[in-house]
Structure 1
Amino acid sequence: MRSHYCGDVNESLIEQTVKVAGWMHRRRDHGGVIFIDLRDREGLVQIVCNPEDAESFAVAEKVRSEYVLQIEGVVNPRPAGSENTDLKSGKIEIIAKRVTILNSSETPPFPLTEQAEVNEDIRLRHRYIDLRRPEMLQKLRFRSQIIRQLRQYLDNHGFMDIETPILTKATPEGARDYLVPSRTHPGDFFALPQSPQLFKQLLMVAGMDRYYQVVRCFRDEDLRADRQPEFTQLDIETSFVEEEDLMQLMEEMIRDLFANVLEQPLPNPFPRMTYADAMDRYGSDKPDLRIPLELVDVSDLMQGVDFKVFSAPANDENGRVAALRLPGGNSLSRKEIDDYTKFVSIYGAKGLAYIKVNDLAAGREGLQSPILKFLPDNVVDAILQRTAAETGDLVFFGADKASVVNESLGALRVKIGHDLDMVEHGWRPLWVVEFPMFEWDDKTQRWYALHHPFTAPRESDIDLLSNDPGKCLSRAYDMVLNGTELGGGSIRIHKTDVQQKVFEMLGIPAEEAEEKFGFLLQALKYGCPPHGGLAFGLDRLAMLMTGSASIRDVMAFPKTQSAACLLTNAPSHVSDEQLKELNIRLRRVPTA
């Protein structure tokens, strides 16, 4: 039906007859001559319909926005001065000889010809139209280019693309599973995979050595902004490697990606930062290094003060008092400070103390703060010295459990950086390493795996699994870019006894471990090689590289924040007959 894509018609085809097909993007009637901008996935081309060609002109008069057209015509150079340098086809036009309407269209629910603000729900409900917009098409094209480049790198480095099951076994760790009832096994359920973790480890036992997969994963998580119940990751596993081997290989892959797709270099090597250092300096295990603000610990300075708001967490082994210096921050109004106080409350902070440094040379008299009366001179002097405060600065304080201080001040650091235009341009990747194996949950009074229960502890820390699990460090590593975790991975446990110890630490009884993971424990007994891997979130990667505000903008058919598909109205009810066939009976929950 066509000889060329619209965007591919150029001056090399002048005086040739071509056939193009696409959607009517824009129609203009100029003094009896009708101009049509025809659009397909490769771009736009200008069609000229002259009244001398009565038949094609008559059809052109009928076309409306988003009509599907086929046009045959001769390629001509555009008149001098009318070229459009913004288009690949901007130096030519097609003189129509035949215009065929392949299909008509109702008026779209939102315009495709301009940058109009459109409610996201409307866009998602009519996603097939939203994807026609050039900017959306370009993002999906870019995503495809990213995946193609990553595949090429891995193929060239000896990795095998191997598919793993989608219908698998429910696991007790991580987010909630999506369950699939089995018709052939009444009362039993499959689970959709949160990741191919166990299968890729089994592939290492099987001797596949280097595996990768662009894989769909599913997590029934609580509502969070910019999270999706189904997402795509690049999953990688390889045998006979140490951390450095795998990190170097993955780092090279990402540098190769940015160089070939964005034509932008990344540093070589990526800087390394321990988890402890990241939390201490940035309050986050995925710090955005483009923001030149850091947290400074002042717990030791506050241990002896009479102000219990500071001294209590300073003397608590699980507490922390930290400061965040904002250069030039004393220009903030009281309302702005109150707004930031309200912001940190989202993260559990009970308040946001501060000191304005109006005149450093004037000592206490040059400072402004409601907390100064609680702090002796030597503590104030030590705070100013440690934070390197200068005249005109403002110093914020967080005092609470370390987790609350880190999360609230870490988020405040990022918000202030964006609010005050302090974010440096460019790309700042890094590796975060030496994660703890476990984190303690006060609510359930038990340990949880910080990454997942198949992550190996450091060889020197294996004894700590039983003696002091809170101090046990793992062989995990995360790649972070501009404050976003691109990928996370680890060297895995490859010995049965170590894996059983980790299960015990996590409160998974031997019977449950056998029921849930017996196939893995069995496989580890049959010569499992040392191995490790990493998984990259492709949606996040595409979002960052395209400069998109949301991962939904780089996914063809995303769900809403409430995990619903507005396009198909899923999830939806199913018939009683289907439920009966699956041996399921619904319990109706009464509504208030």
Structure 2
Amino acid sequence: MANAKTYYRTHSCGELRMEHVGQTVTLAGFLENFREVGANLGFLVLRDFYGTTQVVAETEEMVKTIKALNKESTIQVTGVVRERDSKNPKLPTGDIEVVPQKIEVLGRCRHNELPFPINRSREADESARLKYRYLDLRNPEVKNNIVLRCNVVSALRQAMTAHGFMEITTPILTASSPEGARDYLVPSRKHPGKFYALPQAPQQFKQLLMASGFDKYFQIAPCFRDEDARGDRSPGEFYQLDMEMAFADQEDVFAVLEDVLPPIFAKYGKYDSASSAPFKRIPYLEAMETYGSDKPDLRIDLTAQDATEALGACGFGPFEGNTVKAVKVTGFSATRKQIDKLCADVEVQAGGKVYWFRYDEKGEIVGGIAKFVQPIKDAVVAALGLEKGTFVGLTAGKKLSAQKTAGVLIKMLAPLCPDHFHKETYEFCWIVDFPMYEIGEESGELEFCHNPFSMPNGGLDILKKAAAGEVDPLSITAFQYDLVCNGVELSSGAVRNHDPEIMIEAFQLVRLGEDDVKAKFPAMYNAFTYGAPPHAGIAPGVDRMVMLLSGEDSIREVIPFPMNKNAQDLMMGAPSFVDPKQLDELNIVCTKKEDETAE
């Protein structure tokens, strides 16, 4: 607040300094606390958006007036600024205090007890915090995350505009389309039996903008997906920095984000350093082989290496006929109890077991599965390049399972090995060359692996060879890429498949013909038949970005009014039952209600 005088206040509660001593001021804010020292002396802490100011009541009447108010009432205080006898160097306003001449109640708190102490709201049960979110947000620590979010969004907008992108908003009510998650459906009153869908992402619209002749598009886009919550994913809705570029390839997209993001992360982040361009590029298969994850945290210098040849025939049952991965760590001096807990925690998260041994300072194999390794010690030491004093964690199973378990082991080892975890920085990388297709876990048939609108590496020719049986479809990679920061996937993107002929060929491999493509994506297919420019894009998640910058573990901490893990808004009572008349207007009949199916 820049000294803006209003009817309610001349200054904010974070503004007064020594130069204001002697001035008569008016403040307004929340009554955070009142400490009564005697009948005619008490200390009031007044808080607003900008900070706190100490107000000293020095008359019996003023003390009585304040005592009659509950905490968190909003009040207006008019008084004289003076220098404090006992200064508080921890507060910006700690050199001064205000002696009130008049206190007026602007909004009375009618509750003697609050659901939780405002300044300790983060210690409260999450359900209480979400139900009384308007009180939770009064906590400066909680509020600061929302301020950070505002600043980051503003910086993103400025940066994208400076790079020549136009901000264009796309529809919220649209058609349902198969994009990987469940749609939120909106019934149409005017068209009985038909439904709109809230967009899972503006994917088709931004590609249509490219076909319309716009060159660079972006928006801070709301997206809606009916999916379960995770620590880094909010159920219901989320926001992303959606962007698309015409006449662009993968490197053009990379160049924009490598220029836009590092300064924002360095300025607003909990850590003041971030990767500079170019970010490391890691092919998907290499990422899985080396880091056990397609979301590697490059702050951790531990990697996984293949140990199948060295240990597959050592006689240990779980290794026989399986892929074996090894993660070696120097300087890891954990106790047996700590190692057992580590192994158990990895198994809970990854579903695969961890085995281990040490190559100790004496050059002996000890602990864990040492009896199986000792007979082939020299070969194992040579194959894995072991130094004395090394801990070796091992995973086994089908290749992907062994890789993923090794990846979880790496991430769980990191906090226990500070010499291998350079925490206070932001490390970006691109994961590239994703497989175009995969075998579906449920269907057992060929399906798109990442994004059906992506351009295959090799174009039409490689798809025709796959259709003719000359190329394994699982070997086809696509111009698809993920942006990862500190082990968190910020975004997925791709060079788009803008050629209808290539699009049809790509869909035919997953048993969808030209008619299916036209039916599922009519606007985009038809637009491309009129000649569309090559284009590429990406959409980093704003919520995840701010979560990383703030250092929070839960995405709900950086969303103003988040839902809980069950996709419920406890504050507003959503979702809720509606009046039967509304259902009649929409031609909808509910066959089940939540209370009828509750366990």
The reply to whether TM is greater than 0.5 is yes
Partner residue of 1:293? 302
Change (3 A) 1:187 1:568: same
Find 1:321's aligned residue among 314, 320, 324: 324
Identify which range, 567-576 or 118-127, moves more after superposition: 567-576
Per-residue deviation at 1:461? 8.0
Structure 1 residues 26-425: aligned runs within 5 Å: 26-31=33-38, 32-51=40-59, 56-79=62-85, 82-105=86-109, 106=111, 107-114=113-120, 117-229=123-235, 230-262=237-269, 264-269=272-277, 270-302=279-311, 309-313=318-322, 320-329=323-332, 331-333=334-336, 336-337=339-340, 340-341=343-344, 343-349=346-352, 351-358=353-360, 361-362=363-364, 366-370=365-369, 372-373=371-372, 377-378=375-376, 380-421=377-418, 422-425=420-423
Confirm or deny that 1:444 pairs with 2:447.
Answer: no
Normalising by structure 2, we get a TM-score of 0.90
Change (3 A) 1:510 1:371: farther
Per-residue deviation at 1:299? 2.6
- Write the letter of the residue equivalent to 2:16: V
Change (3 A) 1:89 1:496: same
Per-residue deviation at 1:49? 2.2
Contact kept, 8 Å, 1:17 with 1:72, in 2: the verdict is yes
Consecutive unaligned residues of structure 1, counting only runs of 5 or more, are 314-319
Contact kept, 8 Å, 1:3 with 1:20, in 2: the verdict is yes
- Write the letter of the residue equivalent to 1:490: A
Contact kept, 8 Å, 1:178 with 1:219, in 2: the verdict is yes
Partner residue of 1:6? 13
Structure 1 residues 408-557: aligned runs within 5 Å: 408-421=405-418, 422-427=420-425, 428-459=427-458, 462-464=461-463, 466=467, 467-557=471-561
Q: Secondary structure at the match of 1:252?
A: helix
Per-residue deviation at 1:149? 0.7
- Write the letter of the residue equivalent to 2:554: S
Q: Secondary structure at the match of 1:526?
A: coil
Identify which range, 68-77 or 54-63, moves more after superposition: 54-63
Contact kept, 8 Å, 2:248 with 2:534, in 1: the verdict is yes
Tell me the alpha carbon deviations over residues 169-220 of structure 1, each in whole angstroms, 9 at most, x when there is no partner: 1122311111111111111111111111110111111122111111111111
Contact kept, 8 Å, 1:437 with 1:449, in 2: the verdict is yes
- Write the letter of the residue equivalent to 2:45: D
Contact kept, 8 Å, 1:16 with 1:75, in 2: the verdict is yes
- Write the letter of the residue equivalent to 1:45: T
Identify which range, 298-307 or 238-247, moves more after superposition: 298-307
Contact kept, 8 Å, 2:231 with 2:555, in 1: the verdict is no
Change (3 A) 1:339 1:361: closer
Per-residue deviation at 1:477? 2.0
Aligned residues: 576
| C-alpha distance in 1 between matches for 2:579 and 2:344 | 51
Change (3 A) 1:333 1:265: closer
- Write the letter of the residue equivalent to 1:187: G
| C-alpha distance in 2 between matches for 1:85 and 1:535 | 44
Contact kept, 8 Å, 1:59 with 1:100, in 2: the verdict is no
Contact kept, 8 Å, 1:139 with 1:553, in 2: the verdict is yes
| C-alpha distance in 2 between matches for 1:334 and 1:26 | 47
Per-residue deviation at 1:386? 3.2
Partner residue of 2:3? none
Q: Secondary structure at the match of 1:6?
A: coil
Tell me the alpha carbon deviations over residues 406-461 of structure 1, each in whole angstroms, 9 at most, x when there is no partner: 22221121112124545322222222222222222242122333331111122468
Identify which range, 301-310 or 283-292, moves more after superposition: 301-310
Partner residue of 2:573? 569
Per-residue deviation at 1:462? 4.8
| C-alpha distance in 1 between matches for 2:274 and 2:119 | 36
Tell me the alpha carbon deviations over residues 228-285 of structure 1, each in whole angstroms, 9 at most, x when there is no partner: 1211111111111121122111111012212443483423222222212211111111
Change (3 A) 1:235 1:39: same
Contact kept, 8 Å, 1:305 with 1:376, in 2: the verdict is no
| C-alpha distance in 2 between matches for 1:370 and 1:160 | 60
Contact kept, 8 Å, 1:330 with 1:356, in 2: the verdict is no
Identify which range, 166-175 or 198-207, moves more after superposition: 166-175
Change (3 A) 1:340 1:368: closer
Per-residue deviation at 1:377? 4.4
Contact kept, 8 Å, 2:343 with 2:355, in 1: the verdict is no
- Write the letter of the residue equivalent to 1:166: I
Q: Secondary structure at the match of 2:350?
A: coil
Per-residue deviation at 1:348? 3.0
Normalising by structure 1, we get a TM-score of 0.91
Identify which range, 336-345 or 386-395, moves more after superposition: 336-345
| C-alpha distance in 2 between matches for 1:482 and 1:342 | 20
Partner residue of 1:317? none
Change (3 A) 1:507 1:74: farther
Identify which range, 242-251 or 85-94, moves more after superposition: 85-94
Per-residue deviation at 1:58? 4.0
Identify which range, 455-464 or 89-98, moves more after superposition: 455-464
Measured on the aligned residues, the alpha-carbon RMSD in Å equals 2.4
Percentage of matched positions with identical amino acids: 36
| C-alpha distance in 1 between matches for 2:383 and 2:300 | 20
| C-alpha distance in 2 between matches for 1:355 and 1:59 | 71
| C-alpha distance in 2 between matches for 1:576 and 1:323 | 61
Per-residue deviation at 1:86? 2.4
Change (3 A) 1:39 1:240: same
| C-alpha distance in 2 between matches for 1:481 and 1:339 | 24
Change (3 A) 1:565 1:445: same
- Write the letter of the residue equivalent to 1:242: D
Change (3 A) 1:302 1:129: same
Change (3 A) 1:4 1:450: farther
Identify which range, 168-177 or 381-390, moves more after superposition: 381-390
Contact kept, 8 Å, 2:312 with 2:324, in 1: the verdict is no
